[in-house]
Structure 1
Amino acid sequence: LLYFFAPHPANSSPNAGLIVKGLQREDLFTVVHEQFMTDTARYADIVLPATTQLEHVDLHKAYGHRNLQYNHPAIQPLGEAKSNWDVMRLLAGAMGYTEPWLHESAEEAIRGVLDATRAHNPYLTGITLERLQAEGTVPLHFTPETRVPFADGRFPTPSGKVELWCEAMRAYGLDPLPDFELPHEFQLADGDNDRSAGSGPQAPLVLISAAPHHFVSSSMANQPSLQAKEGAPYVELHPQDAAARGVEHGADVILANGRGWCRLRAVVTEDVPPGVAVAPKGRWAQHSPDGRNINWTTSDALADLAGQSTFHSNLVWVRPAAEG
């Protein structure tokens, strides 16, 4: 049994072709809790309706400001839609889990999180569930001393200083000094092709999957008005790389490597350096040519520093789609 809530792996995870192959397994029963019929939901055995922000209580923080926001539901859940929190509570009860917090309402859970965090985080001083419910948006508690990070010159390191030598990294068997290492994929050989990025017609390009202008990763990428603003799925190529591969501006191209391929429209521009291709992430496969997006080419290898993803350590060969 595989249960998805919130993620969209068939679209947003690397090596998407392998993920799709896994989702097609006959021995796998997949449940997707979703608001929309996403690429992932299309492979589900059961799709459970999820509430939107208009229908459930939530607590929000953000990257771009220093406020906490309380989300008041504007309407009752439509049909049989349930929030992630309510589904978790129902599952916990059905499975016999008795921990009290698993059976709390969303409001009770938010109160518990605020109380527990406030005990060791001075930025939440004076911020309570009741205040959030009354005011909607509440700024974090900053003093003149804490408003500017590290204004006192101390950093969260053993010495309190900026440390170029990191003992913690050395303990993990990693280089304790900052250094550049060529990504593993770039060091590999593939037959007679040199995998060092370059401008020759047989050389691969480094594919960077940047953020789109009109979507938030894959969120809202199914909205026709935003799709129209974003335009057709595209890849930006430097004129030097385009000429070497016989690619014309506006023509369809194939990006491919050993993991998979996708078809995109070429935008020839000097905004990208030679040896690099840039294609925005987030496109749903069902809204992309041939039902594939750039994550059919990205690597699922994990980085050595912290096991994070390596989306941008990705080499692709580019050719005109007209070549077949």
Structure 2
Amino acid sequence: PSLIGQHRGFFYGNSSGIDVDTNYLTGQSLVRKSPKVTSQVALSDAVLAGEFKFIYVYGTNPALTLPNQTAFRRGLVKNDVFMVVHDPHWNETIEFADVVLPATSYLEKEDIVVPWSHWHVRKSNRVIAPLGESKDEIEVMVGLAKRLNTGSEMVYEPPWEALEKAFDGALAKDTFQQLLDGNQVQMKYKPLDEYQTSSGKIEFVSESDGKKGSTDFPYFEPTKTGPDEYLLLNSAVREYTHTQFQDIVGPIPAIVWINPQDAEKNGINNNDEVFLANTLGKISASTQITDDVPVGVLWSPKQFPGKNGVPFNTVCPSTPQHLGGGPVFNSTVVRIESV
């Protein structure tokens, strides 16, 4: 947008535009030592390499979502790795856990969810009391801190007091008490003529990354495929949010779309079982022949759990993108093999 004179013109998220002090909530602003940060995309390699001996999982299902699943799962089953999963639903990651803790769902706890696509926020009230032995994340963390005799006061600060401090100056005209009383309030937004860059301006090339040889503008680098190789694309399907709701509507379907010309070339009919394979592993899927994908391209629903316990992300590489460090799920190259 900036190339044609648009001051603002695209949207990715507004987390950097609001003024909630998340560093205070995480405790980052109260400690001197910065925590170690590992790329989520490359986490499978780190786990396999033994970088983590204790893993605590909550709010995610990495045994389906992380790329390079073979490496991740091999790392989890090592004898010197201990994993705890804290979740309201039984999922694939729990199968690898040493301890499973039941978590409260959004219906069983009070919370404030800061929006990422608009500026209005309201307190989320609890509908029912926590069922069984389920506990929310804060209750578990405080309980662990007490067992470990952690003396830091920030760990034991009542959560709503911590939130009030973090929201200081973050609301446009309302008070935090009005938010607690159930009113819809509006967040204050940072000035639109300021940018979260080192120069405070729109930068077509990063001052820091530019020294590493980056070009002025992003460019498209086509994924290379060899003879009898295919580009495997994936995307979400409407019944699921990532891997959620499989316990309600059933597993994400293990299917693959294939162009009629590619199907004929490989002697494939509708609903045939095939393997999609590369150097990382192989997954099985049922074929659906369609003109909705071009020649040389396959498509599957993302993160399907797969047949025989081998998930889709087994064949996805764990190499982070050069720009931004994101995943390369849609740069996955596979061969088609007979079952």
The normalised TM-score by structure 1 is 0.78
Deviation track 1:15-43 (CA, whole Å, cap 9, x = no partner) reads: 11221111111222221112122111111
Contact between 2:274 and 2:336, CA under 8 Å: does it hold in 1? Answer: yes
Name the residue aligned to 2:47: none
- Tell me the secondary structure at the aligned position of residue 208 of structure 2: helix
Contact between 2:119 and 2:188, CA under 8 Å: does it hold in 1? Answer: no
Where does structure 1 lack aligned partners over 5 or more consecutive residues?
A: 187-194, 197-201
Name the residue aligned to 2:330: 312
Q: 1:274 to 1:168 in 2, by over 3 A?
A: farther
* 1:142 Cα deviation from its structure 2 partner: 6.7
Contact between 2:303 and 2:313, CA under 8 Å: does it hold in 1? Answer: no
> Which residue, 113, 125, 135 being the options, matches 2:172?
125
Q: 1:239 to 1:61 in 2, by over 3 A?
A: farther
Provide the C-alpha distance between the structure 2 equivalents of 1:318 and 1:138, rounded to a whole number of angstroms. Answer: 54
The normalised TM-score by structure 2 is 0.75
Superposed CA RMSD = 2.6
1:50-61 maps to which residues of 2 (within 5 A)?
50-61=103-114
> Which residue, 219, 238, 260 being the options, matches 1:179?
219
Provide the C-alpha distance between the structure 1 equivalents of 2:183 and 2:125, rounded to a whole number of angstroms. Answer: 8
Alignment length (residue pairs):
286
Which 4+ stretches in 1 moved above 4 angstroms?
154-163
* 1:175 Cα deviation from its structure 2 partner: 2.4
1:1-324 maps to which residues of 2 (within 5 A)?
1-115=54-168, 118=169, 124-135=171-182, 137-141=184-188, 163-182=203-222, 186=224, 195-196=225-226, 202-223=227-248, 226-227=249-250, 232-283=253-304, 285=305, 288-319=306-337, 323-324=338-339
- Tell me the secondary structure at the aligned position of residue 246 of structure 2: coil
Where does structure 2 lack aligned partners over 5 or more consecutive residues?
A: 1-53
Name the residue aligned to 1:191: none
Indicate the percent of aligned positions where both proteins have the same amino acid. Answer: 28
- The letter for the 1-side match of 2:221 is E
Is 265-274 or 254-263 further displaced after alignment? 265-274
Provide the C-alpha distance between the structure 1 equivalents of 2:199 and 2:83, rounded to a whole number of angstroms. Answer: 49
Deviation track 1:90-126 (CA, whole Å, cap 9, x = no partner) reads: 22233333333311233223222212xx3xx5xx323
- Tell me the secondary structure at the aligned position of residue 261 of structure 1: strand
Q: 1:265 to 1:101 in 2, by over 3 A?
A: same
* 1:11 Cα deviation from its structure 2 partner: 0.8
